[in-house]
Amino acid sequence: MSFINYSSREINCKIVYYGPGLCGKTTNLQYIFRRTNPEQKGKLISLATETERTLFFDFLPLALGDIKGFRVRFHLYTVPGQVFYAASRKLILKGVDGVVFVADSQVERMDANMESLDDLEINLAEQGYDLSKLPFTIQFNKRDLPNVAPLENMNRLLNPGNIACFEAVAVLGTGVFETLKNIAKQVLTELKKHY
């Protein structure tokens, strides 16, 4: 649910990074935070446990620039990936405008990826969203590790709809902005369709 304010001439959109535990959702946000100009970003808020596992969400507000005189702001959120935080994950999807699914490319994490993707679809459906109609991007993260699954396999398992997907190494920043740009573009294109 985007928020268009004609008075302050702002458009606010919400993007959620989803995926299994330790796939690199928070790492994506941290990289974006490090690489954006101070005037474009707010604080990166992390509600995490002492061992730096996300407990509730991470939040990063980004102001990308102006379109037709409107300031475009994206609010980036991550969900806690661990299975037992299901209740919190649902809450964060409320009012989402676009979803990035971050998949862990390691072979042994394929089951976790598939479980998380199912969980995403179910949680979205509960809020009345259909994943196939929502702006959606997939990121295959951790491509630098030795034990990664081949792209064809990952696409077959996680991306049957053949939507836009990006290879990434989020710790180094590879693919991070490409993913963000793609989802932002989809969200704005959707906005254009409706207004």
Partner 1 sequence: MSASDLVMYEEEFNKIDNELQKLYMQTNAKVVFLVDKNGQLIASAGETHDLDTTSLASLTAGNIAATGGIARLLGEQEFTILFHEGEKDNIHISLIGTRVILVVIFDKRSSLGLVRLRVKKASETLVKMFDEISSKSEKEKSEGKLDESPFAEISDEDIDNLFR
Shortest distance in whole angstroms from residue 155 CB to partner 1: 25
Nearer of residues 8 and 132 to partner 1, judged by Cβ: 8
Shortest distance in whole angstroms from residue 24 CB to partner 1: 21
Helices and strands, number each (H, E), in the chain: 5, 8
Residues that bind partner 1 (CB under 8 A): 1-8, 11-12, 14, 42-43, 45, 47, 56-57, 59, 61, 64-65, 67-70, 72, 75, 87-88, 90-92, 94-95, 97, 128-129, 177, 181, 184-185, 188-192, 194-195
Query: Whole-angstrom Cα distance, residue 181 to residue 86?
Result: 28
Contact at 8 Å (CB) between 102 and 94? no
Shortest distance in whole angstroms from residue 131 CB to partner 1: 14
- In this structure, what is the dihedral angle of CA atoms 106, 107, 112, 114, given to the nearest 10 degrees? 110
Query: Whole-angstrom Cα distance, residue 22 to residue 83?
Result: 11
Nearer of residues 83 and 145 to partner 1, judged by Cβ: 83
Task: Write the secondary structure of 141-154 as one string of H (helix), E (strand) and C (coil).
Answer: ECCCCCCECCHHHH
Q: How far apart are the first and last CA of the chain?
A: 13
Shortest distance in whole angstroms from residue 174 CB to partner 1: 16
Nearer of residues 73 and 109 to partner 1, judged by Cβ: 73
Contact at 8 Å (CB) between 28 and 79? no
Nearer of residues 62 and 110 to partner 1, judged by Cβ: 62
The C-alpha angle 153, 159, 161, rounded to 5 degrees, equals 130
Shortest distance in whole angstroms from residue 12 CB to partner 1: 5
Question: If residue 49 lies in a helix (H) or strand (E), which one and from where to where?
Answer: none
Nearer of residues 4 and 122 to partner 1, judged by Cβ: 4
3-state secondary structure (DSSP) of residue 157: helix
Shortest distance in whole angstroms from residue 8 CB to partner 1: 8
Nearer of residues 58 and 104 to partner 1, judged by Cβ: 58
